[in-house]
Amino acid sequence: MIDANTIITQEFNAHLKTIESIIDTMEATLEEAALLVVKTLKNGNKVLLCGNGGSAADAQHIAAELTGRYKTERIGLPAIALTTDTSALTAISNDFGYNRVFDRQVEALANKGDLLIGISTSGNSENILSALKLGKTIGCTSIGLSGNDGGKMNELCDINLTVPSNDTPRIQEMHILLGHTICHIVDEAFK
């Protein structure tokens, strides 16, 4: 028999432990990241987001909060999740390999001054790293949402918001919290 109450308590406690691990260490870096998003958008540039699996869903979620709204009525803001165009995803994967699925879109869509947000719980997803490298050559700034020790994204991101955990679900929960916090700050800047 499954002890659902024990599982629920364990999950909630693991979540609380993870959030407690970032409360004191993340605030200044998160503020810097949010202000970079605001600056990018106020300068007339766009935000591009990419991730795999649950991180792809987070990229889409954050892009939707920016183009629509988070909480406040404001103008729609330019944000594109590079995870949503199935024709592009499958064609690029087929023709160039999955490691090129995001950098090829960055090459096609990014301009100098745009912001690329790469999401990877390990900080080492090859297709995210490739997109960040190419974005840098175009003149994009970058924010990472990562976990563990930040992985190789530490070297490639202007700001890497690293959740100090190796538990993928906990990292993903914090990523959407960080994304929502950024979106709230953006809402306030554009209301």
120 is in an annotated binding site: yes
99 is in an annotated binding site: no
10 is in an annotated binding site: no
52 is in an annotated binding site: yes
97 is in an annotated binding site: no
Could you give the CA distance from residue 166 to residue 168 in angstroms, rounded to a whole number? Answer: 6
53 is in an annotated binding site: yes
95 burial (CB, 10 Å; 0-12 / 13-18 / 19+) is exposed
Handedness of CA 177, 183, 189, 191 (dihedral sign): negative
Q: Under 8 Å CB-to-CB from 41, ≥6 apart: which residues?
A: 47, 66, 77, 78, 186, 189, 190
Could you give the CA distance from residue 188 to residue 60 in angstroms, rounded to a whole number? Answer: 21
Q: What tokens does 178 get?
A: 């960080």
65 is in an annotated binding site: yes
124 is in an annotated binding site: no
173 is in an annotated binding site: no
Q: What secondary structure letter does DSSP report for 99?
A: G
142 is in an annotated binding site: no
Strands 115-120 and 159-163: unpaired
94 is in an annotated binding site: yes
Could you give the CA distance from residue 160 to residue 188 in angstroms, rounded to a whole number? Answer: 23
43 is in an annotated binding site: no
58 is in an annotated binding site: no
- Residue numbers in the known binding site for Zn(2+) are 61, 65, 172, 180
- Residue numbers in the known binding site are 52-54, 61, 65, 94-95, 120-122, 125, 172, 180
- Residue numbers in the known binding site for substrate are 52-54, 65, 94-95, 120-122, 125, 172
